Amino acid sequence: MTIQLISAVELTAETGGLAALLRDAVEHGASIGFTLPLTEVELADYWRKVGAEMAAGHKILLVARDPEGCVVGSAQLALEPRSNGRHRAEVQKVIVLAAHRAKGVGAALMVRLEAEARQRNRRLLFLDTSTGVGGAVKFYERLGYRFAGGIPNYAADPDGRLVANAIFYKELS
Ligand SMILES: CC(C)(COP(=O)(O)OP(=O)(O)OC[C@H]1O[C@@H](n2cnc3c(N)ncnc32)[C@H](O)[C@@H]1OP(=O)(O)O)[C@@H](O)C(=O)NCCC(=O)NCCS
């Protein structure tokens, strides 16, 4: 497995694999900002928006590939552009293909994302995830993220139930 930092230009050649990855996660019940049914137009629009944020220098994207070069995971870091927040970044859309989970791909993406954050002097990372079945609370706890609180009924899990989110942060040394 390899992890690659993708540029905004390279993203255009990757949108097929990334759209399939996002669809796989939502269809397997992940609560990552989408509900079913998910159209190809929604997926294409989403990755176009990510590309625009990357081109503006506000986001970085990592892609994990299997030995054949197929996309098996991805993770994003949104770099706060405002002058009072340039020390922080938000971890977004950490996703691993359902068939490739529990093999360390997610943890490897997070280790690299933290290294990329350090390089850019982003020492405070934060994120939110669902506390329901579609979330990844245990995953972030295992990686040393600290629970800061949550908001009841924050978003609907793919099963339709409104559940609280859990906000996590990590201060990088
Ligand atoms: C969360 C996710 C990225 C984890 O990826 P993964 O490749 O399976 O994770 P890893 O194999 O690297 O696991 C790292 C650690 O977290 C734990 N972990 C991962 N997912 C877990 C889960 N759902 N429940 C409990 N523990 C979990 C693993 O057991 C492992 O701990 P260990 O080191 O003690 O064995 C993956 O399950 C996923 O894509 N989920 C759907 C999308 C999502 O919810 N993303 C997060 C919100 S943005």
What's the sign of the alpha-carbon dihedral 35, 40, 45, 48?
positive
Ligand 1 in reach of 132 Cβ (< 6 A) = no
Q: Residue 35: pLDDT band by 50, 70, 90 thresholds? A: confident
Whole-number Å distance between alpha carbons of 73 and 69: 11
State whether the beta carbon of 146 lies less than 6 angstroms from ligand 1: no
Residue 159 pLDDT exceeds 90: no
The pLDDT of residue 160 is 82
Atom 33 of ligand 1, nearest CA residue: 142
**C-beta 62 within 6 A of ligand 1:** no
Average pLDDT, rounded, for the chain = 96
Domain ranges in the chain are 2-122
Enter the CATH code of domain 2-122: 3.40.630.30
Spell out a b/e string for 67-90, using b for 16 or more CB atoms within 10 Å of the CB, else e.
eeeebbbbbbbbbbeeeeeeebbb
Whole-model pTM: value is 0.97
Pocket test for ligand 1, best of 139, 154, 157, 167 (most atoms within 8 A of CB): 139
- H or E segment at 59? strand 59-65
Q: Over range 145-157, report the average pLDDT.
A: 96
Strand partners, 62: 5, 75
- Would you say residue 42 has pLDDT above 90? yes
Amino acid at 164: A
Q: What is the mean pLDDT of residues 93-100?
A: 98
Cα(70)–Cα(74) distance, rounded to whole angstroms? 12
Q: 9 or 160, which is more confident?
A: 9
CA 117 – CA 44 distance, rounded (Å): 27
Residue having the nearest C-alpha atom to atom 25 of ligand 1 = 138
Distance CA 7, CA 146 (A): 30
Q: Which atom of ligand 1 is nearest to the CA of 100?
A: 7
Confidence of residue 147 (pLDDT cuts 50, 70, 90): very high
pLDDT at 91 over 90: yes
Q: Name the residue with higher pLDDT: 133 or 72.
A: 72
For the cut 90, the answer to whether the pLDDT of residue 158 exceeds it is no
The C-alpha atoms of residue 110 and residue 90 are separated, in whole angstroms, by: 12
Decide if pLDDT at 167 tops 90.
yes
